[in-house]
Amino acid sequence: MDTRLIQIRKNVETLSAEEEESLKQAGEVIKRGGLVAFPTETVYGLGGDALNPESARKIYAAKGRPSDNPLIIHISNIEDMERITQEIPEEAACLAAAFWPGPMTMILRKSGEVPHETTGGLDTVAVRMPSDQVARKLITYSGGYVAAPSANLSGKPSPTAVKYVMEDMMGRIDVIIDGGEGRIGLESTIVDMTVMPPRILRPGYITKEMLEKALGEKVDIDVTIMRDDSGQAPKAPGMKYRHYAPKGILTLVEGEPEAVIIYINKQAGLDKEAGEKVGVIGTSEQLMAYRADVVKSVGSRLDEESIAHRLYAVLREFDDEGVTRIYSESFDREGLGQAIMNRLLKAAGHRVVTL
């Protein structure tokens, strides 16, 4: 399949007539049952018509993803939520008003309009209204309901820049829209609104504290988010699959900065003697202290958003460098750190050294 690449400058206030026309055409592609990768403020999505079962099948095929893993339906107006859901609890309306458009996905009971192919056989549906303007225009031109998982091949980190989408999806889908890098870099927060209190199934940029403040009531967190073997099946089916794991064996090291540096340097020395190629994921504050084959900054400890933004790119870069052992600093498990640690723990298969 020939994949067409469309370039859009980020500021849609100044979309040229040509760019507007390209987005319209990309919308037509989705309406006709085709697939279009597009930027969002979190990661790139792989979009198809959410109300067309054939489109869902195509998405699973393009990603190489099991078809019981449900898709998020992206909308461009809050009111559009009504057609695809049964009832909208007051709490859901409250969170939509507080955080949409933005990096939050809500699980609600689905209406008959949503095919089971899109929801992986579930009677609930995941809904999100992204803040990225290019995404919203595309959704509107596509008829209003775009099912989109992250635009990576199954088993790879979600793509935070168009070059990664091209690596994974060239030749597999109809169109790729280049709209620059996502501001956030980690996938949206998923909140299950079919239970009370609402429950976070996947942590993200919108934190538990932010949700609780908006609702004025307690929000739960699925126990499987930070634990390896809780004996409970996660409620977001996607979280049960063996997630992205880097090609090198990744270990997280938790402790005081000095101790972490000493441990990692010692371990890196031993690994090197054993013939391994060693990589380190560090923060800019302590990067100079590491001795290893490849040392990469994931951002600044003083700015967790910088870490969220760069994490997936760093993991992809390590795969390309052919390192066989990777050590990473750890982060706070509160606030945005919870989302960062959730993704790192998965990538590390929960291999953590606590000093």
Count of Cβ atoms closer than 10 Å to residue 275 Cβ: 7
Strand partners, 334: none
Which does residue 85 bind out of Mg ion, ligand TXA, none, counting CB within 5 to 8 angstroms by kind? none
Q: Are strands 199-202 and 325-329 parallel, antiparallel or unpaired?
A: unpaired
Nearest to 175 by CA among 15, 8, 310, 292: 8
Binding to ligand TXA (CB under 6 A): which residues in 101-120?
A: 105, 107, 119
- The residue of the chain with the least Cβ separation from ligand TXA equals 238
State the nearest-atom distance from the C-beta of 285 to ligand TXA, in Å: 28
Please, which residue, 130 or 299, has the CB nearer to ligand TXA? 130
Count of Cβ atoms closer than 10 Å to residue 213 Cβ: 11
- Whether the CB-CB separation of 309 and 190 falls below 8 Å is answered with no
What are the residues whose beta carbons fall under 8 Å from the beta carbon of 266, sequence distance 6 or more? none
Site string for ligand TXA, 54-83 (x = CB under 6 A): ---------------xxxx-----------
Which does residue 329 bind out of Mg ion, ligand TXA, none, counting CB within 5 to 8 angstroms by kind? none
In the chain, the amino acid numbered 191 is: V
State the nearest-atom distance from the C-beta of 65 to ligand TXA, in Å: 8
| Residue of 42, 150, 283, 338 interacting with Mg ion (CB under 5 A) | 150
CA–CA dist 162, 176 (Å, integer): 8
Count of Cβ atoms closer than 10 Å to residue 210 Cβ: 18
Please, which residue, 151 or 280, has the CB nearer to Mg ion? 151
Please, which residue, 40 or 267, has the CB nearer to ligand TXA? 40
Question: Tokens 């595309």 belong to which residue?
Answer: 138
- Whether the CB-CB separation of 244 and 290 falls below 8 Å is answered with no
Binding to ligand TXA (CB under 6 A): which residues in 182-201?
A: 187-188, 190, 201
Please, which residue, 223 or 259, has the CB nearer to ligand TXA? 223
Cis amide linkage into residue 39, ω under 30° from 0: no
Using the contact rule CB under 6 A, the part of the chain among 143-151, 211-219, 258-266, 345-353 near ligand TXA is: 143-151
State the nearest-atom distance from the C-beta of 100 to ligand TXA, in Å: 12
The footprint of ligand TXA (CB under 6 A) covers 40, 42-43, 45, 69-72, 105, 107, 119, 122, 124-126, 128, 148-150, 187-188, 190, 201, 235-239
